[in-house]
Amino acid sequence: MAAPNLIDRLFRTQRARDAAALRRLRDTCDTLMSERGAANSAKFAALAMERYATLGDGAREAFFGLLAERYAPDPERVLACAKAYAAERSAENLASLFQEVEPPRQELLRRINRAPQGTAALVRMRANLLKAVKANPALAAVDADFTHLFGSWFGPGFLELARVDWKSPASLLEQIIRHEAVHAVRDWDDLRRRLEPDRRCFAFLHPALPDELLIFVEVALLEDMPAAIDPLIESRDVDAHSTKARCAVFYSISNCQPGLRGVSLGDFLIKRVCEYLQRETPSVRRFCTLSPMPGFAAWLRAGAPLDAE
């Protein structure tokens, strides 16, 4: 009986530690929300992130629950402002309604963002949140606030388009290997082939996440549009004269930051790359994407037997 009692005591001790850590984080967030000076705000923002980093998975989910409840809009005040605006549609009443509708947790996240490396920490926090939302859909409102803020913080004006080639820092090349989500990079030789003169790899970076790729796309410069992906991936023939290319084939796009899932990056990346390639290689006139299963859509449209084995 000694062992089970010891395990129970350990669990109780861990729960007590998590509860104490959560209370400290809650108090820090409350203090952060009450601070008016920028210097003090940055200090408490850093402390909040430091304390969040000590939480276990269960305590993190509890913290997200705290964000959902403690920093939610006040329904009665929202309703009162809505009634006031309905009665008199003035700019003042509309501003008051906007102020009440916005969840206070959005301001909390903005203030946490003042900490050194605050943006990167919040991206990691959202990655944790997305896991918690699967088990607790009530946290979706908190996720909506992250998505709303990230949509501004990672807007087009803040993104840096970078070409990744064999001369890029090893840390970036390793990220390409690690995060390739469509066609796995087998080894360094495989990566080098994807960065040869007839290929291109472009990524978005952000000043708040230095040396971290947000998303990247791989492109093949060809004379004609390929009919299948396998020959393109397996090919070892290198056409060093990309000026012969007439077609740019986007064959893989991968998100490197789980915490930025749902933030619009891919479409804008492809548009920026098209503009870049038009300047760099004027002979390219056709731009296309290549599905991992070319012909699949046509097969379905032709009336494929969906009940076939």
Same domain, 201 and 223: yes
Same domain, 117 and 200: no
Give SS3 for 185.
coil
Q: How many Å apart are CA 32 and CA 41, to the nearest integer? A: 6
Angle between helices 104-112 and 118-135 in degrees, nearest 10: 140
Same domain, 106 and 217: no
Last residue of a domain, one of 104, 120, 153: 153
Same domain, 119 and 7: yes
CA distances 278 to 93, 107, 217, 241, 282, Å, are 49, 42, 16, 16, 5
Residue 147's CB: how many other CB atoms inside 10 A?
Answer: 15
| Segment-wise mean pLDDT, segments of 10 residues, the chain, 309 residues | 52 75 94 84 94 92 95 95 95 94 96 95 97 94 97 95 96 95 90 92 96 95 81 63 80 95 94 95 90 53 51
Last residue of a domain, one of 123, 153, 183: 153
Q: Give residue 296's pLDDT.
A: 47
Same domain, 181 and 236: yes
Task: Report yes or no on 79 lying in a domain.
Answer: yes
List of residues 6+ apart from 131 with CB closer than 8 A: none
Query: What is the reported pTM?
Result: 0.84
List of residues 6+ apart from 165 with CB closer than 8 A: 195, 201
Same domain, 107 and 217: no
Distance from chain centroid for Cα 109: 16
Strands 286-289 and 215-222: unpaired
Amino acid at 245: A
Same domain, 187 and 91: no
Q: How many Å apart are CA 152 and CA 147, to the nearest integer? A: 9
Q: Give residue 226's pLDDT.
A: 78
Q: Give residue 179's pLDDT.
A: 95
Q: Give residue 8's pLDDT.
A: 57
- Which domain does 202 fall in, by range? 157-296
Same domain, 89 and 10: yes
Task: Report yes or no on 41 lying in a domain.
Answer: yes
Q: Give residue 239's pLDDT.
A: 56
Q: Give residue 14's pLDDT.
A: 65
* Pick from 258, 252, 222: nearest CA to 237: 222
CA distances 114 to 83, 156, 177, Å, are 35, 21, 32
Q: Give residue 236's pLDDT.
A: 61
Q: Give residue 308's pLDDT.
A: 44
Same domain, 198 and 63: no
* Pick from 203, 212, 209: nearest CA to 266: 203
Q: How many Å apart are CA 90 and CA 88, to the nearest integer? A: 6
Strand partners, 217: 202, 253
Give SS3 for 276.
helix
The two tokens of residue 36 are 């008016």
Same domain, 126 and 214: no
Task: Report yes or no on 307 lying in a domain.
Answer: no
List of residues 6+ apart from 231 with CB closer than 8 A: none
